[in-house]
Amino acid sequence: MTQHRVAVVQAGTSLFDTPRTLERMAVHCETAAREGVELAVFPEGYVGGYPKGLDFGARIGSRAPIGRDDFLRYWQSAIDVPGPETARIGAFAARMKAHLVVGVIERGGATLYCTALFFGPDGALLGKHRKLVPTASERLVWGQGDGSTITVLDTFIGKIGAAICWENYMPNLRQAMYGKGINLWCAPTVDEREIWQSSMRHIAYEGRTFVLSACQYFMRADAPDSYACVQGDDPATVLIRGGSVIVGPLGDVLAGPVYDREAVITADIDLSDTIRGKYDLDVAGHYARPDIFHLSVNEAAMHPVNYQAGAAREDEMVEAAQA
């Protein structure tokens, strides 16, 4: 079967209140389930939050104590993967009987990562993707992912992968995912700009893939009173206005974009359209020139410290002495 109903969920975080965010997520999942979707995508940093406008007390050459307190609060709002929160999200997917892709802030020790998680319709955590390059001042609070989580999952509804926000502007990442045959391109984001719409249509057309871009709708009222963002304290201020959209493999907009409200946006798709699209453009197939251009992707997990057992080190020393 090649026909499926998919959704992008435009919703806001209850910043620094992850239990409340999960309660709100449950409501959106119930709405998507009533629509009969088989895949739903949530925005970047949905669980754990995207602290737009917060500077974490940073200036070139100095960090203020209040910024360290802000980071601690942010770290406490992040989640372990796997952990209790992922079990709960998995339960949402199981009740929906659908695939879920959701942006989270993941704890890896003391380091935070902007991560997309993939859940199956049985509730299983199928995989994750860590954002490779945080953008601008995001690098103050997020670490970099590595090639081990450039994930494309082969599921019964299609090949699902994710590029988070400005990762979508990385040509080599796009080509790496095209090479894996992705046809359900998920783009969790907080980019509300008009040019983002052009980018999503370009990727759909370039990769002959469906693109599902979910953006937050986030108001100052969704953050605590103590949230010292540069946009001020007016609870009616819109910090992220949305722009979630679903695009077909010839760049045609199937649903959205929607602005200035929360929404569950659905579209009925036919994966056969990705094959029809690649008739005249398959950038990882007949439209490639591997005799001229070559992309090599390192998918090994990169650890800051690698430990070896004593016996293994001794064997290496013997081999080195005999060489």
Residue type, 320: A
Structural domain of residue 97, as residue ranges?
Answer: 3-322
Q: Give the rounded percent of residues in the chain with a pLDDT score beyond 70.
A: 96
Average pLDDT over residues 123-138: 97
Among residues 29, 114, 165, 215, which one is catalytic? 165
Q: At residue 203, does pLDDT exceed 80?
A: yes
Number of neighbours of residue 101 by Cβ within 10 angstroms: 27
Q: At residue 313, does pLDDT exceed 70?
A: no
Distance CA 203, CA 112 (A): 28
Q: What integer pLDDT is reported at residue 7 of this predicted model?
A: 98
Q: How many domains does the chain have?
A: 1
Among residues 38, 44, 106, 192, which one is catalytic? 44
Q: What integer pLDDT is reported at residue 1 of this predicted model?
A: 74
The tokens for 46 are: 């949905």
Q: What integer pLDDT is reported at residue 195 of this predicted model?
A: 97
Looking up tokens 């200036």 gives 59
Residues forming a β-bridge with 267: 6
Distance CA 120, CA 101 (A): 9
* Confidence label for 318 from pLDDT (cuts 50, 70 and 90): low
Q: Is residue 196 within 8 Å of 190, Cβ to Cβ?
A: no
Among residues 128, 131, 159, 278, which one is catalytic? 131
Q: What is the pLDDT of residues 211-241, one digit of tens each?
A: 999 999 999 999 999 898 889 889 999 999 9
* Confidence label for 320 from pLDDT (cuts 50, 70 and 90): low
Q: What is the average pLDDT value for the chain, to the nearest integer?
A: 95
Exposed, middle or buried by CB within 10 Å (0-12, 13-18, 19+), for 319?
Answer: exposed
Could you tell me the CATH number of the domain that includes residue 62? 3.60.110.10
Q: What integer pLDDT is reported at residue 308 of this predicted model?
A: 86
DSSP letter assigned to residue 42: P
* 97 noted as active-site residue: no
The tokens for 79 are: 């989640």
* 180 noted as active-site residue: no
Helix axes 194-207, 171-179, angle to 10 degrees: 40
Q: At residue 2, does pLDDT exceed 90?
A: no
* 114 noted as active-site residue: no
Q: At residue 322, does pLDDT exceed 80?
A: no
Looking up tokens 């953006």 gives 215
* Confidence label for 323 from pLDDT (cuts 50, 70 and 90): low
Of the candidates 262, 122, 98, 257, the residue with the CA atom closest to the CA atom of residue 184? 98
Q: What is the pLDDT of residues 246-301, one digit of tens each?
A: 999 999 999 999 999 999 999 999 999 999 999 999 999 999 999 999 999 999 99
Distance CA 9, CA 82 (A): 23
Q: Is residue 254 within 8 Å of 246, Cβ to Cβ?
A: yes
